[in-house]
Structure 1
Amino acid sequence: MSESKQHERRARHRRRHPGLTVGIPVAMAAAAGLTYGTAFGIFGEDAQPKAAATTLAGTGNVADGFASVNALGQNGTYGGRDGKTVTVKTLADLEKYATAADPYVIVVAATITVDPKGKEIKVASDKTIVGAGTSGQIVGGGFFLGQGVHNVIIRNLTIRDSYAGTWNDKEHDFDAVQMDGAHHVWIDHNDLRHMADGLIDSRKDTTYLTVSWNKLSDNNKTFGIGWTENTTADITVHHNWFRETEQRNPSTDNVAHAHLYNNYLQDVAGTDITSSYGNYARGNTRMVLENSYFEGLNNPVTKDSTASIVQRGNVFAGTSGRNESGGTAFDPKSFYDYTPDKGADVPSKVKAGAGPRTTIGGATKAKAAAETTLTVGKDGNAQYKTVQSAVNAVPANNAARVTVSIAPGTYRETVKIPSDKPHVTLRGTGGSRKDTVIVYDNAAGTPKPDGSGTYGTSGSATVAVEADDFQARNLTISNDFDEKANQNLSGHQAVALRTAADKAFLDSVIVEGDQDTLLLDTASKAKLGRAYIRNSYIVGNTDFIFGRATAVVDRSVITLKKRWDGTSQGYVTAPSTAPDRKGFLITNTTVTGDVSARSFYLGRNWHAGGDATLDPQTTVRDSTLSGAIRATPWTDMGGFSWKDDRFAEYKNKGAGAGPASGDRPHLTDTQAANQEITDWLGTWTPTP
């Protein structure tokens, strides 16, 4: 795309979109005291921004809540996704893989009886233990995660029946899941019941834990959190069904940030089990308790005098006794994104969605068996020496994922993934996404070697993706075209990555260049092309996120870069969106860079080819904008007024944010509710 405004025919008689009229200015959060100016933004060279997890359906494959937050050297919780997938049906095999040092996805496809009774299998880091549909059961024992164990998913299992005959058992510490000093753990969609001690014990500063969509029942001491004098743990508990559980539902002791929402606590009258209390905040706990449903419980919400509980939106039906709140807590959305269900809807939703699902784990074995890994490296130990040669080895119309595993190094080459090779992942194997670099220096005006002309903008891409369901992870894709040394060339657009397909997922990557860095396109004007970019850096200066795709940039850093001559002037986005499609959504992201104040626009409207029917769209929301952003952040292009297209902000903060005006549209809360990540991605849930 041309840097200068194109001489395209002027659009006439186009109406403004009523959905993007200026709304009531929203209150801005206080600036977070962030500093700007490093090459890769405020997080340093290889740090990650805080998580803001996508709101996912109950059977999604990505950890949310505090388990999704990047901390302690761990980027979210993804379990054994980088390792092999194995299916187990015996206790010996389950122990073999659960305790191994290597990452594994362990599919439990049978009922496994633990011997001796009450034994807790010691789980090592980087594991996913998942039931195959509803067939995975652990009987008479459970799991133990010790000090420092991290990145573990326990999912879709039934863990039951270590009960030793004594209700208030002081002798048998038989838990379903016990954690002592672990971090980044996701316990999801399990059926936990009838154990001698706790169903879940989160102890000794275990943190970055999410417990979601579980059924917890028929137990005395159900879910205990604490056993420490420190107040450091961060825990999310949501959409769980506590039924016929006497105490610790949960009991939360000295937790820095305890976020409990959309849980269903039920004590049915006339049964043998009567609740002693429901949610309990002990010690110095700070708890946010919202939109949960308490039915028939005694003492549904209790707190120590030293603890804080902020309640909102909870429903209490037939409860009695203590129902307490007080003190100050925290804002969960400062750590991650979430959308709670209404409290009144919780019983029906949780009953329908909690516990093991036939849709989780059942297909994992078949899928994994067909997956292939191709290795690339320069030391002679890999299958291929170039990335393109590995891509060439992918069979046409492959039905399952092929991962091209790329060793650390700099690969100076262009890579094309043609449309008949879907399900390809390019994954760097280094400790940092900077360790593996794919780079080239073609520009739009660069002559082709065969003399057939120049590459043009789209042809200049270092990596070109034309196949659906593409993924890139833990690497850098760069175009290092030297504008200063090539002033004689006409056409300095130099694309690092071009996607022209549907379901492109970029996770923990760096995409860097100058002009036209990231081209998010579609296979054709009539086809849908979706892209989701998270935990990544995008670097450039002129229209460097552009194209007609439906794309989300989430939890990332957009780094503004000076031009080749040292001047500061640029445009972050240049959408070219079809009128019936979504354009670009930038959310929970930081826009920063070592450039002059008020020198960059957030975007301008690209009517490719002078097409007046296009309806370019960029929404920037819930993000931090540096002072480099202009006070009027949108501008015209090619004779088309941006005000006739779709450009808006919502709840941004930082020195570059500003109040709503005719030159700076803000979404209303109602409009913003329809401009979430799921509105962009539709039925597609990007998964590791």
Structure 2
Amino acid sequence: MSETRSKPRHRRRKTALAVGVPLTLTAAGTLAYGTDIGVFGENAQRTAAAATAAPAWATATADGFASVNALGQNGTYGGRDGKTVTVKTLADLEKYATAAEPYVIVVAATINMNPVGKEIKVASDKTIVGSGTSGHIVGGGFFLGSGVHNVIIRNLTIRDAYQGIWNDKDHDFDAIQMDGAHHVWIDHNDLRNMADGLIDVRKDSTYVTVSWNKLSNDNKAFGIGWTENVVTDITIHHNWIRETEQRNPSTDNAAHAHLYNNFLEDVAGTTIKSSYGNYSRGATKMLLENSYFQGMNNPVIKDSTASIVQKGNTFVSTTGRNESGGTAFDPKTYYAYTADKTADVPSLLKSGVGPRGSIGTATASTTAAAATLTVAKDGSGQYSTVQAAVNAVPADNPSRVVISVKPGTYRELVKVPANKPHVTIQGAGGSRKDTVIVYNNASGTPKPDGSGTYGTGGSATVAVQADDFQARNLTISNDFDEAANQSLSGHQAVALRTAADKVLLDGVIVSGDQDTLLVDTAAKDKLGRVYMTNSYVIGNVDFIFGRATAVIDKSVITLKKRWNGTSAGYVTAPSTASNRKGILIANSTVNGDVSDRSFYLGRPWHAGGDATLDPQTTVRNTTLSAAIRTTPWTDMSGFSWKDDRFAEYKNTGAGAGTASSDRPQLTDAQAAGQEVADWLGDWTPSAS
């Protein structure tokens, strides 16, 4: 929401609120960040009842470039729209992998290719996944031809097509080869000891993500390119490339190659010696960040026409060329991601790559999945991103699904669409600070597709459009850097936007600067109720705003200085419809490290200059610090706050004040009709 003011608009003045004298009453004190138990007590975070759904691994979606909507394909989700089948023979594997229909194909045995070197020609819309650690493909692999798309190859061991000739020129036996394919995700596999390469991404294949794989014991690990066209977009992250001589990877004429958090290791005293590590060739633009190189010869090399931009990499006992130069690109214009600390990469990958026992171990057709989906960056959960877990929730799910997010910082955008109600996103750590969902879009941030800027509502890190949503025990943040982006036209940067009814926020931190928490509704004529308790909201300008019927109860509102170090701001900016209730702050604390008398409690936001709106904020039974102005309400965009509904009741603290025409107080009779229950109506929030 803009801070600028337009020329005055005038409406007929309504009858002013009756004025009463506030009484002294102890309000809610400061809450501890680490508190786990909210207003609902020890049972507030109990597990939901079971709901019928496909197993999470059967509906998993890719991250990185494979998640990008392009070429008529919306991300990469494999065969999730088809049946799930379990195969134990080569005939069945080939039958379903080459079929025209979508399938989730669970490989539950060791399958020997016949003849050796056979590569099954996979058709579009397939997920081929190992059942735990039992899915082995021996003596061959998979081929994805021109136009094949939306394929996931996951949780398999593909091995042992080696024919006894190192750097074999006669047997082109790869684990996974693609020629002209797009939207492919290769994840959590163990690829080793093949006759040629382990992975070949050739002939303009694009929108590919390769993640959490172990590539080892081979002459050629991973080749990309072999075309004069510069079209390939590829993400390679969290792979352990060990004891491979060359192509680690070799990247030829890739438009965008994003390599991060990979571990390249050449072990001393073995017969396999690395000739080079990451190689950028031709017109490739490569961003290489937070990767770890151990014992590699020529760990990073480029030719004269290619680019490599290095950030945060670590090199231990490496020798030879280590090069960079040219310009790359910003992956965050295409997708959200968070790089792990470089120092953590070896241990993280040694424990996290390769097939997982939790993947592929039940079929969707026979097993009802638990109502809890787990998210973990290190691959130990069902999903590595929060959005992937949201995507796995069935449309129009009839009962609650809990997305349990393990501790970590998840730099991504999360959207819960209107057709996925009853979703809870819950941090699994001991503190609400342990699990953080963060991004940095602002109103004026250009969209990656060139279609304009995000706008205020579109800037949200987490956007909730589904009714009966809950968030608990986590932090939702927008860390847009105003100081570094003064040239942008809009600095409104939303952390959380709710546009739904019956939204419960319990034990969370919602943090930002301008326009932190947008409590919206699905439409102007729709009811949208939000109840926040045992939580923190942090910001400086209009940072609790919108047209919803929203209660901030038993919480702490933290005032924050502006980007230039000044203290000036507004807590609320309601845009309430005339027949609705607006924003109620009750039993809470308003404080922060800002100057005395520098913040208003609120101002009226008549969105779009709509004079029919009747903005409302009531602050009651709340402790106000000296940061609050003695006249706590102010006008906005030509609309007088005195024409709308702004009042206090029995507030305390250095920022509280006595009744006056500039500081209306509710009478006891009026306050009796402005309790929390009046705001929530027939809804009684309960954690589930």
TM-score range, shorter chain: 0.5 to 0.7
How do residues 81-480 of structure 1 correspond to structure 2 at under 5 angstroms?
81-362=80-361, 364-365=362-363, 367-370=364-367, 421=399
Alignment check: 8 A CA contact 2:500 2:528 kept:
yes
Deviations 1:567-595 (A, max 9, x none): xxx93666535556999xxxxxxxxxxxx
1:37 aligned partner: none
SS at match of 2:310: strand
> Structure 1: which 5+ residue stretches go unaligned?
21-56, 373-400, 406-416, 425-461, 470-494, 504-515, 531-536, 551-569, 584-599, 617-627, 646-688
Measure the CA separation in 1 of the matches of 2:59 and 2:555: 27
SS at match of 2:501: strand
Residues 571 and 198 of structure 1: CA distance in aligned 2, closer, same or farther (over 3 Å): same
1:638 aligned partner: 617
Residues 607 and 272 of structure 1: CA distance in aligned 2, closer, same or farther (over 3 Å): farther
Residues 98 and 309 of structure 1: CA distance in aligned 2, closer, same or farther (over 3 Å): same
Measure the CA separation in 2 of the matches of 1:167 and 1:5: 90
SS at match of 1:101: coil
SS at match of 1:499: coil
SS at match of 1:498: coil
Alignment check: 8 A CA contact 2:530 2:550 kept:
yes
The Cα of 1:244 is off from its aligned counterpart by 0.4
Measure the CA separation in 2 of the matches of 1:572 and 1:103: 43
The Cα of 1:604 is off from its aligned counterpart by 8.4
SS at match of 2:65: helix
Matching residue within 523, 530, 548 for 1:547:
530
1:443 aligned partner: none
Measure the CA separation in 2 of the matches of 1:177 and 1:345: 28
Measure the CA separation in 2 of the matches of 1:543 and 1:639: 21
The Cα of 1:101 is off from its aligned counterpart by 1.1
The Cα of 1:274 is off from its aligned counterpart by 0.2
The Cα of 1:61 is off from its aligned counterpart by 3.8
Alignment check: 8 A CA contact 1:85 1:104 kept:
yes
Measure the CA separation in 2 of the matches of 1:527 and 1:18: 10
Residues 6 and 320 of structure 1: CA distance in aligned 2, closer, same or farther (over 3 Å): farther
Alignment check: 8 A CA contact 1:250 1:279 kept:
yes
SS at match of 2:546: strand
Measure the CA separation in 2 of the matches of 1:602 and 1:159: 58
Alignment check: 8 A CA contact 1:14 1:644 kept:
no
2:467 aligned partner: 498
- Report the TM-score, using the length of structure 2 for normalisation: 0.55
Residues 318 and 499 of structure 1: CA distance in aligned 2, closer, same or farther (over 3 Å): same
- Report the TM-score, using the length of structure 1 for normalisation: 0.55
Measure the CA separation in 2 of the matches of 1:58 and 1:239: 19
Residues 466 and 176 of structure 1: CA distance in aligned 2, closer, same or farther (over 3 Å): closer
- Choose 60-69 or 141-150, whichever is displaced more: 60-69
2:586 aligned partner: 612
Alignment check: 8 A CA contact 2:297 2:319 kept:
yes
How do residues 584-603 of structure 1 correspond to structure 2 at under 5 angstroms?
none
Give the letter aligned to residue 283 of structure 2: N
1:519 aligned partner: 501
Measure the CA separation in 2 of the matches of 1:74 and 1:105: 18
Residues 259 and 639 of structure 1: CA distance in aligned 2, closer, same or farther (over 3 Å): same
Give the letter aligned to residue 498 of structure 1: D
Matching residue within 552, 560, 571 for 2:546:
571
Alignment check: 8 A CA contact 2:291 2:342 kept:
yes
The Cα of 1:615 is off from its aligned counterpart by 8.2
Give the letter aligned to residue 342 of structure 1: K
1:385 aligned partner: none
SS at match of 1:345: helix
The Cα of 1:404 is off from its aligned counterpart by 7.5
Alignment check: 8 A CA contact 1:111 1:139 kept:
yes
Alignment check: 8 A CA contact 1:607 1:640 kept:
no
Structure whose CA Rg is larger = 2
Deviations 1:226-250 (A, max 9, x none): 0111111110001100100000000
Deviations 1:139-164 (A, max 9, x none): 00100111111111110100000111
Alignment check: 8 A CA contact 1:543 1:574 kept:
no
Measure the CA separation in 1 of the matches of 2:470 and 2:547: 22
Measure the CA separation in 2 of the matches of 1:350 and 1:273: 21
Measure the CA separation in 2 of the matches of 1:402 and 1:301: 41
Give the letter aligned to residue 586 of structure 2: A
Measure the CA separation in 1 of the matches of 2:420 and 2:307: 53
Q: How many residues are treated as equivalent by the alignment?
A: 431
Residues 526 and 96 of structure 1: CA distance in aligned 2, closer, same or farther (over 3 Å): same
How do residues 15-26 of structure 1 correspond to structure 2 at under 5 angstroms?
none
Give the letter aligned to residue 551 of structure 2: S
> Structure 2: which 5+ residue stretches go unaligned?
1-13, 34-55, 370-391, 403-417, 426-463, 473-497, 511-519, 534-544, 559-571, 591-606, 626-688
Measure the CA separation in 2 of the matches of 1:153 and 1:243: 23
Measure the CA separation in 2 of the matches of 1:169 and 1:220: 9
Measure the CA separation in 1 of the matches of 2:128 and 2:29: 52
Give me the identity figure in percent: 59
Measure the CA separation in 2 of the matches of 1:629 and 1:172: 68
The Cα of 1:74 is off from its aligned counterpart by 1.2
The Cα of 1:62 is off from its aligned counterpart by 3.4
- Choose 76-85 or 600-609, whichever is displaced more: 600-609
Q: CA RMSD in A?
A: 4.7
Residues 541 and 340 of structure 1: CA distance in aligned 2, closer, same or farther (over 3 Å): same
Measure the CA separation in 1 of the matches of 2:191 and 2:623: 55
SS at match of 2:218: strand
Deviations 1:206-236 (A, max 9, x none): 1111101100000011100001111111100
Give the letter aligned to residue 369 of structure 1: T
Measure the CA separation in 1 of the matches of 2:201 and 2:111: 24
Alignment check: 8 A CA contact 1:520 1:549 kept:
no
